[in-house]
Chains A and B, each alone.
Chain A
Amino acid sequence: MENRPLEYDYTIAKLWMFMTIVLGIVGMLIGVILAWELAFPSVNLIAGEGLAEFTNFSRLRPLHTDAVIFGFTVSGIMATWFYVGQRVLKVSMAESKFLMVTAKLQFALYLLAVVAIVGSLLLGITTSKEYAEFEWPIDILIVVIWVLFGIQIFGLIGIRREKSLYISVWYYIATFLGIAMLYLFNNMEVPTALLSGAGAWYHSVSMYAGTNDALVQWWYGHNAVAFGFTVPIVAMIYYFLPKESGQAVYSYKLSLLAFWGLMFVYLWAGGHHLLFSTVPDWMQTMGSVFSVVLILPSWGSAINMLLTMKGEWNQVATNPLIKFMVLASTFYMFSTLEGPIQAIKSVNALAHFTDWIVGHVHDGVLGWVSFMIIAALLHMAPRVYKREIYSKSLMNTQFWIQTLGVVLYFTSMWIAGITQGMMWRAHDEFGNLAYSFIDTVTVLHPYYTIRAVGGTLYFLGMFMWAWNMYKTATAGRRVEESELQSASPMAA
């Protein structure tokens, strides 16, 4: 027993891997439908006039964002935690009955929440605050699920053998704390049926009004990106890239600097969503300035990762998983440069409310978040199922088709956004507005079509990924423990 390597228990990780794939496909399918609806409004009637209420852009849009953030990404965070956590803390889930039971409970409640969320958003039960649309009963359910996640993290840490916490664990802890704090404060609401004895039982009204409500919402909204799309994904890359490439993390000091820098700076930046609004001016300036400062810790992690590949760049050509991760890091750098540029007041005056922002979100989420989650799960599959990855060439095809998809997406949205912003502000020689609003809509049609094509390509890649994962689990060649040290074994 003493000399045998530790056997990790992947029961829970497998459940979340499955969930990640299913919700990734669902979330992106809805995204593709929305993209086509914007290019060709008749697609709103995709299921006929009778069901138009539920297939309409306005009902599907919150479902898309929530499915990708709380469905795909959060499932990916869970899947990787239940894999990475055990490995870097040198302890098996099977060693604690309590953790196994609470983890299963967490998953079961999550399923319940998914059903409740899909149902309620399609019915139009929403608080309208972006990424915080759920009414109070679902909010409470989510808090319970999140507390159970905290129990998982600190429970496993509590029984760990490796005394020092690896960098990835820092980021998982931060994810847990950050989301907990933000979610609680932004979702403070008063159920209306409680005090009046009338109306829908699930309806509530926000604790905050007007400008205050906006302030809390974007403090949350921006940092849901921080602690959902940045911090946990950095946790993943710090584990999976060194592991897959067989290289040690380039610099520990840089890791430290980037982590604590990110923790301190990120939260300030929420104010950049409120430039030129009725929020106090000094707050807008803080949001703007700290957004630019945010480049430093963000690039710190990204450069640390790229330098980890130093001397081993040949792996990019031979290993598609490294390709995914290196491109993810590159998109991270790119997206964390683009964000601060948009947060500069004069640029924001043009970019805000336009598709350029939509483009920014998607180069981040498709290029960085999704690529990293896809790569992480593909790295996990051979180790979880003890089989080699089913098809390397399918992975390569997926990589190129999705890369093309992202590029089409963000370039079309840049052009669309800047065009729209310029047309909104254009005046003729007499000082009158040069264009009516509808002029600024119809001109975007070609770009909306290109975006829909790009999104569809990316979506196709998701199917290739799902197929490859499925075949790996069921039909991949069995591998020995010795083949699993670094680079993932994969068929041709």
Chain B
Amino acid sequence: MFHWLEKHPFFFAVAVFVTIAFAGLIENLPNFAEASQPTIGTKPYSTLELAGRHVYIKNSCNACHSQLIRPFKSETDRYGHYSLSGEYAYDRPFLWGSKRTGPDLMRVGNYRTTDWHENHMKDPAAIVPGSIMPAYRWMFKNLADIDTAYAEQVTVNKVFNVPYNKPIPMTDGGTATVKLAGSLDGAKADALAEAKLIAADMKDQDVKDMVANGQVPEIVALIAYLNSLK
């Protein structure tokens, strides 16, 4: 049979394709059939948080920091409860990472504060002596892309039914609602209101001035995202 295949390239190619596609079908399909359901307390991202997530992605933070706590005592001691599938239900893309040059950030919102992040992004080694993380000073000047964050919210809401403007069950038995504005201007106003709360906890006067003038620097959005990781 193999001799015959080697003389018939078309059938050879078909045979190769079937052979390699087999494993993908068996391994991927069942999991897609039952896509994971969000755990209680898992919320979609607000506009500002999503803009911050884009800053995180833009600077490949996931190249050095994981967002996946494995079920080992050493990891739960260090980072918190191990990861559950449903916690990632609104993560497009997933940001598990593959290398920990720095610590895991899955629940960093539980143990770091706004001003810690602020100082750390400006000069990591000053906050954590010996750190090899570079500084990210341009984030204090560049503006966050609220438009694209809003575009993504609208898209996932329409295409994947991500529940914006709907009550979401929380762990305390209550509900929470994440707002999706009806227009881009509305989204910008929402993001700015959220940015003001973050900027109030920050020290950098330039950042405070920018936010007061209606601008949202990348650092503010990034901190909003990092604070949401719990």
Contacts and interface: CB of A to CB of B under 8 A. Distances in A.
Interface of A: 37-38, 41, 44-45, 49, 52-53, 56-59, 61-62, 124-130, 154, 157-158, 163-165, 170, 173-174, 177-178, 181, 185, 190, 192-200, 203, 205-206, 208-217, 219, 256, 260, 263-264, 266-268, 270-271, 273, 276-280, 283, 286, 290, 349, 352-355, 357-358, 424-427, 432-433, 437-438, 441-442, 448
B77 interface: yes
Nearest to A287: B27
Contact of A59 (B28, B59, B156): B59
Contacts of A433: 74, 77-78
Contacts of B156: 205
Given A264-B22, A353-B100, A442-B130, A209 B31 contact: no
A129 B138 contact: no
Given A270-B27, A438-B129, A52 B134 contact: yes
Given A61-B60, A190-B155, A198 B184 contact: yes
Contacts of A158: 9
Interface in B165-206: 184
Contact of A357 (B73, B84, B99, B148): B99
A38 B88 contact: no
A353 B151 contact: no
B212 interface: no
Given A263-B20, A358-B99, A427-B73, A211 B36 contact: yes
Interface string B27-54: 1101110011000000000000000000
B20 A432 contact: no
Contact of A173 (B12, B98, B159): B12
- At the interface, is chain A mostly helix, strand, loop or mixed? helix
The list of the 9 closest CB pairs from A to B, nearest first, reads A210-B88, A199-B151, A199-B148, A267-B23, A124-B58, A278-B85, A196-B154, A44-B134, A196-B151
A212 to B, nearest CB: 6
Interface centre among A130, A266, A278 (most CB of B within 10 A): A278
Given A203-B152, A213-B94, 15 more contacts: A41-B125, A56-B136, A170-B12, A173-B9, A173-B16, A181-B21, A196-B150, A196-B151, A199-B151, A200-B147, A205-B155, A210-B90, A211-B94, A424-B74, A442-B130
Contacts of A127: 57, 93
B150 A38 contact: no
A357 B98 CA distance: 9
Contact of A280 (B20, B31, B72): B31
A206 B16 contact: no
A276 B92 contact: no
Contact of A286 (B20, B27, B78): B27
Nearest to B14: A177
Contact of A211 (B31, B64, B102): B31
A266 B20 contact: yes
A213 B90 CA distance: 11
Contacts of B155: 190, 192, 194-196, 205
Nearest to B25: A267
Given A198-B147, A273-B98, A209 B134 contact: no
A256 B159 CA distance: 46
B217 to A, nearest CB: 14
A195 B154 contact: yes
Contacts of B63: 57-58, 61-62
Contacts of A216: 28
